[in-house]
Structure 1
Amino acid sequence: ATLVPAAAEAAGVPAGGGAEPGADPTPPTPPSPPAAAWDPDSELVRAMLAIPELAAPGAAHDPGVLALEIPSGCGVTNARALARVYAALAAGGTLDGIRLMSPDTVKAAGTTAAEGQDRILGEPTAFAQGFMKPATSFFRVSGNPEAFGHPGSGGTLAFADPAAEIAFAYTTNSQSAAHTDWRALSLVDAVYRALDA
Structure 2
Amino acid sequence: MTRNVAVYQSLQSADEVTLNVFAAACAERGSAIYQELVDDADREWFAQFLELAWSSLSGEADEGELADAIEEFQEWAESVETEDSEGKDFYVMQSAMLAVNAIAVHLNPTAARAEMSGQTLETLLGGFDHRLGGGQPVIVRAGEPSPPPGPLQRLEQDAQNAILQSLSARADQGRASQELLDGIRASCRPVHDEIATATSSVAELAGWDVHAEEE
For normalisation by structure 1, the TM-score amounts to 0.24
TM-score, structure 2 as length reference: 0.23
Task: Name the structure with the higher strand share.
Answer: 1
Which of structures 1 and 2 has the larger relative contact order (alpha carbons within 8 angstroms, sep 6+)?
2
